[in-house]
């Protein structure tokens, strides 16, 4: 207990004396003597010397040219939808590099030459030759259908009629044509409306004087016909007719049957002809068996005569006259679906036109057919021929 009560003085009697406070100069001298502090001061001195150098002598890069620009990242533009020409040509040109295999000027970029696409859609071979592919055609529009007085109500849609003033669809909806005295050659490309890409390509890529034929079962049929006429093409409808092997070989629910009778044929034709307006004529789709039926053909041709509609066939109905205007094709150009075979058929058609004064060919809208036809028609004028619409090849019965 005693020890706890000792005085403060007694408690501190054996302690060392308190340290003496150092002056600032003495503190600085003591710190400078330490090695880490010496190194830090040396670095600081070096930096200060460099800063003084730049201040006195200036920026060593001050004499070099310089420029400042504001960079702004633009939003990526959305790629436009391909045109018919673009969509049709993507990745397909290699199939048609040499259409004849003989170095013909129509053969495109043969021999592995670079193919350059021009702004208008044309393509040229980059090897110095004159090979080219036909560009997307400039529109040469026809009047929008229907024309006044040329259609009347039907059970399934407007039907073509002869106008009170005597105008007929076979003339009013045909593409105007004036002969220049050269041999005429015409071409029908059919099977259109089912495949959007090939249909759009045929409309845009083939010259306006090439006649286009549409499948009646196609969706948006009137829209396709309107596009074709806006580009300048006259158009036709395809009439599905009974072929050999029917019904295993079936052209669809509205096929005109050889033994169908006048009422059945009339009802089906009302549906087929009422699908759209703006066509000048019709053509057959298949139908070798139907063509042999006198009763069926008479009912078919009578309906066309009464409505003022032309009939142009693929060559298999040559012995059947009739309709308001009539023509038969001289050649199917793509019975063999190869570039060389199609070009050979077109060249044969061309030779026939030079001998007889005119020739009519027909083909299906296979990609190779459209490509070959586009290139072949591009050089017709230079070869002494005139491309004509198919309607220019028709004649009225009895003339």
Whether 105 and 238 share a structural domain: no
Angle between helices 196-205 and 221-231 (to 10 degrees): 20
The answer to the question of residue 27 being in a domain is no
Q: Write out pLDDT tens, residues 48-92.
A: 655 554 454 455 454 545 555 455 545 545 444 333 333 333 333
- Cis peptide leading into 144, omega within 30 of 0? no
Please give the pLDDT value at position 72. 53
Find all residues with CB under 8 Å of 224, minimum gap 6, and list them: 192, 193, 199, 203, 214, 218
Whether 358 and 298 share a structural domain: yes
Count of structural domains within the chain: 2
Domain final residue pick, 72, 103, 133: 133
Q: Which helix (H) or strand (E) holds 378?
A: helix 367-378
pTM (predicted TM-score): 0.70
Please give the pLDDT value at position 51. 55
The answer to the question of residue 5 being in a domain is no
* CATH classification at residue 381: 3.20.20.370
Whether 330 and 366 share a structural domain: yes
Q: Considering only 93-102, 130-139, 386-395, which range has the smallest mean pLDDT?
A: 93-102
Percent of the chain with pLDDT over 90: 62
The answer to the question of residue 38 being in a domain is no
Whether 258 and 297 share a structural domain: yes
Q: Above 80 in pLDDT, residue 9?
A: no
The answer to the question of residue 61 being in a domain is no
Whether 123 and 270 share a structural domain: no
Please give the pLDDT value at position 91. 36
Whether 109 and 202 share a structural domain: no
Average pLDDT over every residue of 182-188:
98
Whether 368 and 262 share a structural domain: yes
Whether 229 and 155 share a structural domain: yes
Whether 243 and 128 share a structural domain: no
Please give the pLDDT value at position 128. 35
Residue keyed to tokens 């006195």: 56
Whether 267 and 300 share a structural domain: yes
Domain final residue pick, 100, 133, 166: 133
Q: Write out pLDDT tens, residues 315-332.
A: 999 877 777 799 999 999
The answer to the question of residue 48 being in a domain is no
Q: Which two tokens stand for residue 332?
A: 């199917």
The answer to the question of residue 73 being in a domain is no
Domain that holds residue 255: 151-393
Q: Which residue has the higher pLDDT, 80 or 138?
A: 138
188 and 175 Cβ atoms separated by less than 8 Å: no
377 and 295 Cβ atoms separated by less than 8 Å: no
The answer to the question of residue 222 being in a domain is yes
Indicate the length of the chain as a whole number.
399
186 and 281 Cβ atoms separated by less than 8 Å: no
Q: Above 70 in pLDDT, residue 133?
A: no
Please give the pLDDT value at position 345. 97
Contacts 24+ apart (CB under 8 A), 190-193: 190/214, 190/215, 190/236, 190/238, 190/283, 190/285, 190/362, 190/363, 190/364, 190/365, 191/215, 191/238, 191/364, 191/365, 192/218, 192/224, 192/228, 192/365, 193/217, 193/218, 193/219, 193/220, 193/221, 193/224
Q: Above 90 in pLDDT, residue 124?
A: no
Whether 181 and 88 share a structural domain: no
The answer to the question of residue 345 being in a domain is yes
Domain final residue pick, 133, 162, 197: 133
Whether 123 and 216 share a structural domain: no
Q: Considering only 68-72, 204-208, 240-244, which range has the smallest mean pLDDT?
A: 68-72
């Amino acid at each position: 207990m005693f020890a706890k009560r000792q005085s403060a003085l007694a408690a501190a009697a054996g302690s060392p004396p308190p340290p003496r406070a150092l002056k600032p100069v003495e503190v600085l001298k003591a710190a400078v003597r330490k090695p880490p502090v010496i190194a830090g001061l040396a670095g600081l001195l070096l930096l200060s010397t460099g800063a003084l150098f730049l201040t006195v002598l200036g920026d060593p890069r001050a004499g070099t040219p310089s420029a400042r620009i504001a960079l702004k990242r633009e939003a990526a533009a959305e790629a436009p939808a391909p045109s018919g020409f673009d969509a049709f040509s993507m990745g397909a040109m290699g199939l048609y590099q040499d259409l004849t295999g003989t170095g013909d000027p129509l053969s495109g970029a043969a021999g592995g030459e670079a193919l350059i696409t021009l702004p208008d859609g044309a393509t040229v071979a980059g090897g110095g030759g004159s090979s080219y592919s036909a560009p997307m055609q400039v529109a040469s529009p026809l009047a929008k259908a229907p024309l006044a007085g040329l259609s009347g109500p039907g059970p399934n849609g407007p039907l073509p009629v002869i106008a009170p003033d005597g105008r007929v669809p076979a003339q009013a909806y045909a593409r105007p044509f004036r002969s220049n005295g050269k041999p005429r050659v015409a071409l029908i490309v059919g099977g259109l409306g089912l495949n959007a890409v090939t249909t759009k390509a045929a409309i845009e890529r083939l010259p306006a004087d090439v006649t286009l034929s549409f499948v009646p079962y196609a969706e948006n049929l009137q829209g396709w016909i309107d596009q074709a006429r806006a580009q300048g093409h006259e158009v036709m409808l395809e009439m599905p007719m009974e072929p050999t092997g029917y019904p295993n070989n079936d052209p669809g629910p509205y096929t005109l049957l050889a033994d169908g009778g006048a009422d059945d044929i009339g009802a089906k034709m009302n549906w087929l002809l009422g699908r759209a307006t703006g066509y000048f004529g019709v053509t057959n789709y298949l139908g070798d068996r139907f063509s042999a039926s006198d009763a069926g053909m008479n009912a078919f041709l009578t309906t066309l005569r009464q409505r003022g509609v032309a009939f142009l066939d693929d060559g298999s109905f040559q012995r059947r006259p009739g309709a308001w205007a009539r023509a038969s094709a001289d050649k199917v150009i793509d019975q063999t679906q190869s570039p060389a075979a199609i070009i050979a058929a077109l060249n044969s058609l061309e030779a026939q036109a030079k001998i007889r004064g005119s020739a009519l060919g027909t083909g299906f809208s296979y990609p190779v057919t459209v490509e070959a036809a586009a290139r072949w028609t591009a050089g017709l004028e230079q070869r002494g021929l005139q491309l004509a619409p198919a309607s220019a090849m028709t004649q009225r019965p009895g003339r």
